[in-house]
């Protein structure tokens, strides 16, 4: 960590010295959305940023992903069209295994495989002759993950926050690498807006109920751009959002793309993220801060690493503290928020750390550079 809390990968000198070598990298993404995704998504946007930057640096990049992905390098399709674009809402396990099968078949062509398949890639990583490094994007304490991750103790792993990995200190963690995105293209506003923004999913863990409570407590209108896709999301929408719409207490934009979402961030007084769910990272936070708009977030998960309290936003424990943060948020320097965010969460910084992680894994294989 640097003095300001930025995550910095530990780079061995002999790895850094060879960092200009061209690598053959196979990226592996889930088949549910294309790379890059058109609207709300996390994993696929990060994969796109990694692939673009590796390609820009001259590495030979290939992507295993849905066939409607759009990248400047070789694409090996897993399905013709991403599952969710076809309306598929069933179990994805068999499609994830098909993705693993394709990646395994192609792995011999590459120096390293970089998988983004959560636990579906563990057996692959354990037994593939080509080194496989796995970035974990989700929580590690649910759905049998604790047992599975500990059963594969040799698999090289990358965490996206220290919070995410803290319950499993003895795993084979190669690095903690905070996400980076091409945030310099985000719009910027130097003046605080007159509404609160919510971006995400309509679920209890994302905190749209608490966002509404904050709006009512402060008298500042809430504008939400959120996904309502799964049955549980639709149920929560009917329970929480629809009554607020009927009472004209908020504006609901639905799931929108960057052209609508990014100005929503830039024009807000603050973006609110008040769910009790411990975010493994939380891309919404860095997107908002890149526009100069501070974030008021629950003091949980990776927010304690990505949001600098009193500098780029405020970390709170409940809605009452969030209301106090709303009173203070206009005092923050929005240009400084943007500058700090572009510095900390750039694709270049992220891929610097991934290159070091790749070479750290490769250095453990005799005869491999």
pLDDT tens for the chain, 369 residues long, are 443 344 444 444 334 334 568 999 999 999 999 999 987 678 999 999 999 999 999 999 999 999 999 999 999 999 999 998 898 888 999 999 999 999 999 999 999 999 999 999 999 999 999 999 999 999 999 888 999 999 999 999 999 999 999 999 999 999 999 999 999 999 999 999 999 999 999 999 999 999 999 999 999 999 999 988 888 999 999 999 999 999 999 999 998 888 999 999 999 999 999 998 899 999 999 999 999 999 999 999 999 999 999 999 999 999 999 999 999 999 999 999 999 999 999 999 999 999 999 999 999 875 444
Q: What's domain 13-181+346-362's architecture?
A: 3-Layer(aba) Sandwich (3.40)
Burial of 67 (0-12, 13-18, 19+ CB in 10 A): middle
The pTM (predicted TM-score) of the whole model is 0.90
Domain(s) of CATH 3.40.50.2000: residues in the chain: 13-181+346-362, 183-344
Q: To 5 degrees, how large is the angle CA 65–CA 70–CA 71?
A: 85
For residue 233, what are the contacts with CB-CB under 8 A and spacing of at least 6?
201, 202, 203, 227
Alpha-carbon gap, residue 38 to 103, rounded angstroms: 24
Q: What's domain 183-344's architecture?
A: 3-Layer(aba) Sandwich (3.40)
């Amino acid at each position: 960590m640097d003095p300001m809390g930025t995550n910095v990968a530990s780079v061995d000198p002999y790895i850094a010295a060879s960092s200009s070598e061209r690598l053959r990298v196979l990226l592996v993404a889930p088949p549910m959305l294309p790379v890059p995704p058109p609207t709300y998504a996390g994993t696929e946007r990060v994969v796109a940023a990694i692939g673009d930057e590796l390609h820009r640096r001259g590495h030979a990049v290939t992507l295993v992903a849905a066939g409607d992905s759009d990248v400047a390098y070789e694409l090996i399709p897993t399905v013709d069209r991403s599952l969710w674009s076809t309306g598929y809402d069933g179990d994805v396990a068999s499609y994830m295994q098909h993705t693993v099968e394709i990646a395994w078949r192609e792995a011999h062509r590459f120096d390293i495989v970089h998988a983004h398949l959560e636990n579906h890639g563990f057996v692959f990583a354990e037994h593939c002759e080509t080194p496989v490094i796995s970035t974990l994007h989700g929580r590690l304490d649910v759905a049998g993950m604790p047992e599975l991750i500990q059963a594969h103790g040799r698999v090289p792993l990358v965490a996206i926050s220290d919070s995410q990995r803290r319950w499993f200190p003895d795993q084979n963690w190669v690095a903690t690498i905070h996400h980076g995105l091409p945030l310099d293209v985000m719009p910027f506003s130097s003046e605080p807006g007159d509404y609160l923004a919510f971006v995400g999913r309509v679920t209890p863990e994302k905190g749209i109920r608490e966002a509404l409570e904050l709006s009512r407590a402060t008298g500042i209108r809430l504008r939400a751009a959120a996904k309502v896709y799964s049955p549980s999301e639709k149920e929560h929408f009917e329970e929480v959002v629809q009554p607020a719409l009927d009472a004209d207490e908020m504006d609901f934009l639905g799931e929108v793309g960057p052209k609508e979402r990014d100005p929503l961030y830039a024009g807000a007084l603050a973006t609110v993220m008040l769910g009790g769910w411990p975010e493994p990272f939380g891309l919404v936070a860095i997107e908002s801060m890149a526009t100069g708009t501070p974030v008021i977030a629950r003091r949980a998960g990776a927010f304690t690493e990505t949001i600098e309290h009193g500098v780029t936003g405020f970390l709170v424990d409940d809605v009452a503290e969030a209301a106090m943060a709303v009173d203070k948020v206009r005092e923050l320097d929005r240009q400084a928020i943007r500058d700090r965010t572009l510095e900390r969460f750039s694709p270049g910084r992220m891929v610097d750390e991934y290159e070091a992680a790749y070479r750290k894994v490769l250095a453990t294989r005799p005869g491999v550079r």
